[in-house]
Structure 1
Amino acid sequence: MKAEPTASGTGATGTPDPREDIRADTHLIRSLLIGIFILMAVYALYFGRAFFMPVILAFLLALTLTPIVRFLRQHGVPDALSATLLVLLSLIFVAGAGYLLSGPVIELINNASTIGMQLTERLAQLRQPFEKIMQISHQLEGLTQTSQEPDVQKVAVAQSGMLSSAAGNILSAGTGITIVFVLSLFLLASGTMFYEKIIQSFASLSEKKRALRVVYDVEREISHYLLTVTIINAGLGTVIGLGLWGLGMPNPMVWGAAAALLNFLPYVGALMTIILVTVIALISFDSISFALLAPTFVLLCDIVEGQFVTPLVVGRRLEINAVAIFIAIAFWSWLWGFVGALMAVPLLVVVKVFCDHFEGLSHVGNFLAAQHSLVVEEDTAEQNGKVRT
């Protein structure tokens, strides 16, 4: 009589089942291969950031503008025409904003040391616990200046290297911006051709239908999220800029643009904006109590946006838990710097939406989801179960 394996993985005679060892070895090899693939992908993204960064930015820009192209297509406007107009308008907006903001930003950078001295004077009463640290800093600064005074030629050589490095960075940034806008133009103008190519790679009709449903659902949800968040951030920056202008803050347009841009970094971006506005307000106004009105106004705007506007417009389903957001921002900022930090949350939403459409990756989507979203889904499932019974 043939021995049947027991629940513990052994036969009737107590000997180990070789099939269990094969399964364990297969699982171990699969886990090792996945780990190796992840490490190779991270290394590729790090060393190939000059290529991957503009390409991913182009896809995100195309997804952001896709709802507008789809709306214009329904009203008889060809995809190529609408895509060209939208990309040109985006390029003009970015170039115009960069030109208008470059002067005040450069002025702030050049006056950074003066701003620091003025802030130190305004907060002199809070400086006593840090006097020893400041003395050490001044001593180190004096030693650095003393060591650099006799070596004039060395400073000139370093300046030349800095200029060449800056020129190389400008050229690289220009190339990346060109790739972003040109590639996004081709993606938008291609219409549904990109999706058709994906569907054609499947054999059976059922697989084609499932792939078509998943592709369109993912594209629709992500594009709606990106466009909505972009509009909300632009509105937030406008409100903050106008409010700071009413309070008499210098360069309110800069702080409005900074608030709109940094708001793509949840929690971190709002905190950075409040700190920057607080520093400038303290050195710009004579009264400290009046100076604190500016950061208080920014804080109230961020609270209204984060707790009411975004959840109401975007919905709770696409919210990400705070731990995943901080990990993503830390990872992408280490990988690609400030640009990577700005893309961290949109990429995280892309991953979550994609995982939600596949049962094998649903546990990843559940990990990325906010806690209250899971509670809502569980309550909905329970209600549906009661209705069925």
Structure 2
Amino acid sequence: MTHALTSPVPPAAGADALDPGASAAPASAPPSEPEALDSDAPLVPPIEPEPEPPPGYQFNAPVDVRSLSLALLALFAGIAVLHWAAAVFIPVAVSVLLTSALSPLVTVLQRWHIPRWLGAAFLLLGIVGGLGATAWQLSDGASQVVESLPVAAKKVRDKLREQSGNKTPSTLETVQKAATQIEQAAAENAAPPATKRGVQRVQIESAPLNIRAYLWSGTMGLLSAVGQFTVVVFLTFFALASGDVFRRKLVRIAGPSLERKKVTVHVLNEISGQIQRYLLVQVLTSVIVGVATGLAYAALGLQNPAVWGVFAGVLNLVPYIGSIIVTGASALVAFLQFGTFDMALAVGSASLVIHTLVGNLLTPWLTSRTSSMSPVAVFVSVLAWGWLWGLWGLLLGIPIMMGVKAICDRVEDLNAVGELLGN
């Protein structure tokens, strides 16, 4: 009876209950490691190359059309403002360049216990006085060169007509004669009939030459140039006398964080350093071109070689165009003086060789050490700023773009622009 009421114990449970170590041993045994964890097998599978896209595949990249449109509108608005207010921005840009170039000299004078305002005044007066004395010494020769250019051009035209071997008029003269005959025939055929009663005859006459208007426009242009020069001198004086006041203000405006202030200081230092090195390279190459041109023209016997040397040195500051002007003008004057194409070709070739050697060998080597701008970006910048500001744009375009590149390299959102401008 007692055996019937007792429930049998399962074998597994009974075994576990009687020997607890038997059940713990299999549970604590580590599982078998997969083959991938073998010491000889690689842990990371090899990366297979992606297949090339099929023909006609289009790269889908997210483009923020709204931001791009706003950036283009801001760019066009800035260009319009720069063109409209060129009379204000050009003196400011020239003053910034002169301040960057003369600031180290004023700092040296300040170390010699000379106040900044006195050192700035001394430098500016010396520069203005030197330019005035040089212009006064070369004024007679410069006027002779300018007056000889139209005469030289007329002589070249006559010489070419003589060497053509026929006395027939040129194509331009034939066209002008035909146009005159057509105008006379039209005037005869269009003679007005007898006027009717009550109708007043109206005859249009061309206005006579107004000498006062030409004199007034020339005087106003001269006064405008003198006024801009005065503005540049005063702006440069005030900027040199103030020292690092504006630099500290820009650092303060950048923000309270130390990182922003460091970035602003780096940008300002890089802009100043690049402008100083660029101006130093331009002055050095201009002096070399001027001296070499003057010596070469003196050896060839051309009149006023010192004037031509100064012209060549000054126009060397205008990229690509200054050398063409000097070469063509000197060849014309040489033909007027010597009367042969051989001497004109010799003078023009001498100028071309000097500008080619300096412009293609020395200037790129020195510029590559002072700036990291691409030659294509330099050429496009010269064209764009020349279109925007004329001659002043040709002179100021490269330094302005160097400053723009320095800013774009330090601002994350503008790194793409800096990459386009760089080498």
What SS is found at the alignment partner of 2:371? Answer: coil
Give the partner amino acid of 1:308: L
Cα contact 2:148–2:333 (8 A) shared by 1:
no
1:43-100: CA deviation from partner (whole Å, max 9, x where unpaired): 2122211211111111112122233334444555443232222211221233334434
**Within 2, Cα distance between the matches of 1:68 and 1:128?**
63
Task: Tell me the TM-score normalised to structure 2 length.
Answer: 0.71
Query: Match for residue 193 of structure 1?
Result: 245
- Tell me if 1:216 matches 2:262: no
Match of 1:18?
A: none
1:60 paired residue number: 97
Partner Cα separation in structure 2 for residue 112 and residue 287 of structure 1: 16
Cα 1:122–1:55 shift into 2, 3 Å:
same
Check if 1:270 corresponds to 2:295. no
Superposition deviation, residue 35 in structure 1: 1.6
> How much does 1:195 deviate?
0.6
Moved more, 321-330 or 126-135: 126-135
Give the secondary structure class of the aligned counterpart of 2:313: helix
| Correspondences of 1:70-219 after superposition (within 5 Å) | 70-124=107-161, 132-136=170-174, 139=177, 154-157=207-210, 159-201=211-253, 202-219=255-272
Give, in angstroms, the shift of residue 210 of structure 1.
2.2
Structure 1 residue 340 corresponds to structure 2 residue 393: yes
Q: Say whether residues 1:225 and 2:278 are aligned partners.
A: yes
The number of equivalent residue pairs is 341
* 3-state secondary structure, aligned to 1:249: coil
SS at match of 1:315: helix
**CA-to-aligned-CA distance 1:173-223 (integer Å, 9 cap, x gap):** 111000111101111121111111111112112221221122112212212
Q: 1:39 to 1:250 in 2, by over 3 A?
A: same
Q: SS where residue 292 of structure 1 aligns? A: helix
Partners of 2:165 and 2:155 in 1: how far apart? Answer: 16
Q: Does 1:282 align with 2:335?
A: yes
What is the alpha-carbon distance in structure 2 between the residues aligned to residue 90 and residue 140 of structure 1?
Answer: 56
Corresponding residue for residue 292 of structure 1: 345
State how far apart, in whole Å, the 1-side matches of 2:310 and 2:169 are.
36
| Counterpart contact for 1:328–1:344, Cα < 8 Å | yes
Contact 1:83 1:188 in 2 (8 A): yes
- Which ranges in structure 2 are unaligned for 5 or more consecutive residues? 1-61, 185-203
CA distance in 2, matches of 1:361, 1:136: 59
Q: Out of 353, 356, 363, which is 1:303 matched to?
A: 356
CA shift, 1:363, in A, is 3.0
After the TM superposition, which of the residue ranges 90-99 and 165-174 deviates more from structure 2? Answer: 90-99
Could you tell me how far apart the structure 2 residues matched to 1:131 and 1:316 are?
A: 56
Query: SS of the counterpart of 1:181?
Result: helix
**8 Å CA contact 2:149, 2:333 repeated in 1:** no
Q: Deviation per CA, 1:160-182, whole angstroms, max 9, x where unpaired?
A: 21111111111111110001111
Q: Tell me how large the CA RMSD over aligned residues is.
A: 3.3
Separation (CA, whole Å) in 1 of partners of 2:331 and 2:74: 45
Deviating more after overlay: 163-172 vs 319-328: 319-328
Counterparts of 1:256 and 1:350, CA distance in 2: 31
Gaps of 5+ in 1: 1-22, 375-389
Whole-angstrom CA distance in 2 between matches of 1:74 and 1:112: 50
Residues 1:30 and 2:67 aligned together:
yes
Which residue of the other structure, out of 365, 370, 373, is the alignment partner of 2:418? 365
Q: 2:81 aligns with which of 28, 44, 47?
A: 44
For 1:192, the aligned partner's letter is D
1:101, distance to aligned residue in structure 2 (A): 4.2
**Aligned equivalents of 2:174, 2:382: Cα separation in 1:** 34
The aligned amino acid for 1:361 is L
Matched, 1:243 2:296: yes
- Is the CA contact (8 Å cut-off) linking 2:145 and 2:333 kept in structure 1? no
Q: Give the Cα separation in 2 of the matches to 1:338 and 1:64.
A: 20
Query: What displacement does 1:287 show?
Result: 4.2
Give the match for residue 409 of structure 2.
Answer: 356
Rounded Cα–Cα distance in structure 2 between residues aligned with 1:128 and 1:286: 18
Structure 1 distance, partners of 2:152, 2:173, is 19
Query: Structure 1 residues 79 and 33 mapped into 2: Cα distance closer, same or farther (>3 Å)?
Result: same
CA displacement at 1:107 relative to structure 2: 3.8
Contact conserved, 1:264 with 1:345, CA < 8 A, in 2? no
d(CA) in 2 for partners of 1:196 and 1:155? 60
